[in-house]
């Protein structure tokens, strides 16, 4: 079972702090949507509102066109994986996975069959009889995932499920998760602050900012054509560079460009190198142009204090912080 | 010198143990040593000079204490059970409130224990008489007043310490509030719940003031024992009181396993 999720002008406040401001969002059937945003921007609150453990102050939550806004969490048939996995410490792995099935009133035989099936898929069959407190971080994450997947919910919500894992395990888990979702074809809503996760996992990325969706689209789209200066600054390993348009003959605009949208050595913009950082893909040179910090990618190493010259191959034009016009390659 | 410090600590511990265990020792003497060496002497010897079971035999055959012990057991289980039935939802509810509010409510709960028991017991007994509760059930209800605040306080500490997401997870997994309570929260919180039950049970077991005022006839064991002592059969009464101490000793031994200081702080950090 999969479903479409729709949020209509959802609002939520804690005391005087408004966390979600009339947020609207549509998630397509079978889509992997990643909600990306800085910490403390209400990502978790959004998920909790969808699943029903955090009542919303206003707006509607629709699952397959059905209004579930006032339905308690246990009647929504939405599965969720919490950041700390929230495994029941008093139960074995088997009982943890069986719990949602038991609640749904399945027979013992059917529960057993389903639990073993999902354990097989997630390679945790040997751990079934173990106590959850003895598991490693990666295993815990799998058990939490198994518990969410074992029943047939309409939606899967995942709240930074990989953030508690070691870097290497995380990398593998990310790939597995994507494969799993593609095979199962379920609708996933995945919350993270990790851009690399958004990049690898998402069909579409929705960036949350100031209690609303800043922009939604594929990661590439958002990266190439961020709709606002804030998003350009937020997205990417390096923030988008912004300079005054008058420097390149675009009066009245702010010109935004990524570190590699330049051609090096040509006359145009020049500055003094403040820092040159070596990486796998080349050198990143930090400098200042017109009082603004700029980072550009170069093919050769520069000495600190040397002059770096470059011209822009492509750029986006912003007015009042919003994208007006973008050039493509 | 660490060894000297240890030495002194041990002496202190042993002295304390002697002081606390001495009454129990006397109880043993009165029960198992012939009366001649205990009640029969102006300065009774402190070591057992003989052994007899006749005191125990006499107290069982001559005193009618079986029924009071039975009644005490019923009352203790009612008090222990009620303190969970009322205390668990109360503690859960309080754990949901902010600490600032719930701590004030806890203080209000303890208010009744700040007054002398007898001051509370007399008006209660008047009302209970007209309500037909001047019996052991009335005693159980009145004793609940004493044990409930502490039970709630202990279990509140447990509930506060639980990660909120476990409860959320259970709800997301399809459990109703009741099922979440029974299958997730109570099993997780079993240590404070056991402590609360046993403390309530023990408090009720030897509670005297409410018992004697509310149900003076057909009463619990402590009241009956008191009656026998004042009527002049102290040594038989002592003998049987040792028997009744045994469950308390067992409970104390069980409690010791669970009794960690954090349960008594109500989840507050000091």
A93 pLDDT more than 90: yes
Using 50, 70 and 90 to split pLDDT, how confident is the model at B4?
Answer: low
Domain stop point among A229, A260, A282: A229
Residue A70 placed within a domain: yes
Q: State the first-to-last Cα distance of chain A, in angstroms, to the nearest integer.
A: 41
pLDDT at B99: 82
- Looking at residue A307, its pLDDT comes to 85
d(CA A178, CA A184): 10
**Assigned domain for A129 exists:** yes
Confidence of residue B270 (pLDDT cuts 50, 70, 90): very low
Q: Which domain holds residue A130?
A: 5-229
The pLDDT of residue B259 is: 66
Q: pLDDT tens across B182-209, in order? A: 999 999 888 889 989 989 999 999 899 9
Task: Examine the domain organization and report whether A218 and A257 are in the same domain.
Answer: no
User: For B63-265, CATH number?
Assistant: 1.10.3720.10
**pTM of the shown model:** 0.80
Q: How far apart are CA B23 and CA A243, in angstroms?
A: 89
Q: Is residue A81 part of a domain?
A: yes
β partners of residue A61: A7
Q: Taking CA A227 as the corner, what is the angle to CA A225 and CA A228, rounded to the nearest 5 degrees? A: 120
Is B170 in contact with A88 (Cβ distance < 8 A)? yes
Same domain for A65 and A165, yes or no, is yes
- One domain for residues A23 and A155: yes
* pLDDT value for B90: 94
pLDDT of residue A1: 66
pLDDT of residue B2: 53
Question: For residue B5, is pLDDT > 80?
Answer: no
pLDDT at residue B84 in the model: 96
- Residue at which a domain ends, from A180, A205, A229: A229
**Average pLDDT value for chain A:** 87
CA–CA distance, A124 with A80 (Å, rounded to integer)? 19
Which pLDDT belongs to residue B260? Answer: 62
Same domain, A223 and A101: yes
Give a yes or no: residue A37 inside a domain. yes
Same domain, A204 and A71: yes
Radius of gyration of chain B (CA): 23
Share of chain A above pLDDT 70, in %: 98
Token look-up 């988008």 returns A240
Out of A202, A229, A256, a domain closes at A229
Classify residue A234: in a domain, yes or no: no
The residue that leads in pLDDT, B60 or A135, is A135
Q: Which residues of B touch A79 (CB under 8 A)?
A: 172-173
Query: pLDDT class for B269, splitting at 50, 70, 90?
Result: very low
- In whole angstroms, how far apart are CA B159 and each of A42, B88, B196? 26, 9, 13
When CB atoms are compared, the residue of A79, A89, A104 closest to B172 is A79
Indicate the domain borders of chain B: 2-52, 63-265
**B163 at the A interface (CB within 8 A)?**
yes
A105 and A248 inside one domain: no
Q: Looking at the structure, tell me whether residues A95 and A165 fall in a common domain.
A: yes
Residue A38 lies in a domain: yes
Residue B263 has pLDDT above 70, yes or no: no
Helical spans, DSSP H, in A8-92:
43-51
Find the CB nearest A104 among B174, B187, B188.
B174
Taking only the tens place, the pLDDT of each residue in A194-250 is: 888 888 889 999 999 888 888 999 999 899 889 898 999 999 888 999 988 888 777
- The answer for A 282-311 residues in CB contact with B (under 8 A) is none
Which pLDDT belongs to residue A218? Answer: 92
Regarding whether A243 and A192 lie in a shared domain, the answer is: no
Determine whether the interchain pair B173/A99 forms a contact, defined as Cβ–Cβ distance below 8 Å. Answer: yes
Residue tagged 């206003």 (tokens)? A58
- Domain tally, chain A: 2
Mean per-residue pLDDT, A26-50: 88
Instruction: Assess whether A224 and A265 both reside in one domain.
Output: no
Write the DSSP assignment of A113-175 as a string of letters.
HHHHHHHHHTT-GGGTTSBGGGS-HHHHHHHHHHHHHHS--SEEEEESTTTTS-HHHHHHHHH
Q: Quick one: what percent of chain B has pLDDT higher than 70?
A: 94
Tens digit of each residue's pLDDT (9 = 90 or more) over B126-177: 999 999 988 999 999 999 999 999 999 999 988 988 888 899 999 999 889 9
**What pLDDT score was predicted for residue B89?**
95
Looking at residue B262, its pLDDT comes to: 57
A194 in a structural domain: yes
What number is the average pLDDT over the span A75-82?
90
A208 and A265 together in one domain: no
∠ CA(A263), CA(A268), CA(A274), 5° rounding? Answer: 80
A143 and A21 within one domain: yes
Distances (CA, A) of A102 to A71, B17, B183: 20, 52, 11
A to B CB pairs, distance under 8 Å: 57
The mean of the pLDDT values for chain B is 85
| Inter-chain residue contact A86 with B179, CB threshold 8 Å | no
């Amino acid at each position: 079972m999969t479903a479409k999720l729709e949020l209509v002008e959802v609002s939520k406040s804690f005391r005087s702090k408004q966390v979600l401001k009339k947020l609207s969002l549509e998630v397509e059937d079978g889509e992997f949507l990643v909600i990306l945003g800085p910490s403390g921007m209400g990502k978790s609150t959004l998920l909790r509102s969808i699943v029903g453990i955090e009542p919303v102050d206003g707006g509607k939550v629709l699952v397959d066109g059905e209004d579930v806004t006032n339905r308690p969490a246990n009647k929504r048939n939405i599965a969720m994986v919490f950041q700390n996995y929230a495994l029941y410490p008093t139960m074995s792995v088997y009982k943890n996975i069986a719990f949602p099935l038991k609640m749904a009133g399945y027979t013992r035989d059917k529960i057993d069959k389903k639990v073993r099936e999902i354990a097989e898929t997630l390679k945790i069959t040997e751990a079934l009889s173990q106590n959850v407190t003895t598991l490693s971080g990666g295993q815990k994450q799998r058990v939490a995932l198994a518990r969410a997947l074992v029943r047939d919910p309409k939606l899967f919500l995942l709240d930074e499920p990989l953030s508690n894992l070691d870097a290497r395990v995380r990398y593998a888990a990310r790939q597995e998760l994507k494969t799993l979702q593609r095979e199962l074809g379920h609708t996933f809503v995945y919350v993270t602050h990790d851009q690399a996760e958004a990049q690898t996992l998402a069909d579409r990325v929705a960036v949350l900012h100031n209690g609303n969706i800043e922009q939604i689209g594929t990661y590439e789209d958002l990266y190439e054509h961020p709709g606002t200066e804030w998003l350009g600054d937020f997205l990417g390993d390096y923030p988008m560079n912004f300079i005054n348009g008058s420097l390149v003959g675009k009066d009245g605009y702010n010109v935004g460009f990524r570190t590699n949208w330049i051609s090096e050595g040509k006359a145009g913009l020049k500055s003094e190198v403040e820092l040159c950082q070596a990486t796998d893909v080349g050198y990143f040179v930090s400098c200042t142009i017109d009082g603004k910090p700029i980072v550009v990618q170069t093919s050769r190493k520069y000495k600190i204090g040397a002059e770096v010259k470059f011209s822009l191959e492509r750029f986006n034009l912003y007015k009042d912080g919003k994208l007006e016009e973008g050039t493509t390659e | 010198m660490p060894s000297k410090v240890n030495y002194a600590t041990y002496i202190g511990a042993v002295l304390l143990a002697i002081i606390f265990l001495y009454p129990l020792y006397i109880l043993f003497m009165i029960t198992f040593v012939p009366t001649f060496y205990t009640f029969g002497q102006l300065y009774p010897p402190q070591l057992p000079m003989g052994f007899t079971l006749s005191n125990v035999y006499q107290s069982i055959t001559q005193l009618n204490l079986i029924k009071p012990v039975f009644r005490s057991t019923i009352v203790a289980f009612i008090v222990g059970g009620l303190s969970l039935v009322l205390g668990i939802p109360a503690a859960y509810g309080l754990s949901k409130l902010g600490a600032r509010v719930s701590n004030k409510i806890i203080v209000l709960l303890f208010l009744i224990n700040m007054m002398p028991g007898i001051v509370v017991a007399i008006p209660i007994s008047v009302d209970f008489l007209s309500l037909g509760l001047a019996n052991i059930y009335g005693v159980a209800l009145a004793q609940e007043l004493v044990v409930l605040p502490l039970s709630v306080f202990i279990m509140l500490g447990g509930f506060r310490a639980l990660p909120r997401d476990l409860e959320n997870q259970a709800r997301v997994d399809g459990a109703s509030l009741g099922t979440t309570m029974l299958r997730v929260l109570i099993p997780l919180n079993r240590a404070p719940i056991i402590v609360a039950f046993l403390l309530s049970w023990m408090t009720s077991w030897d509670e005297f003031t409410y018992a004697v005022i509310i149900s003076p006839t057909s009463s619990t064991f402590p009241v009956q024992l008191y009656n026998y002592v004042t009527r002049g059969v102290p040594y038989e009464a002592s003998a049987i009181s040792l028997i009744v101490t045994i469950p308390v000793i067992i409970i104390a031994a069980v409690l010791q396993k669970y009794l960690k200081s954090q349960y008594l702080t109500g989840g507050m950090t000091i």
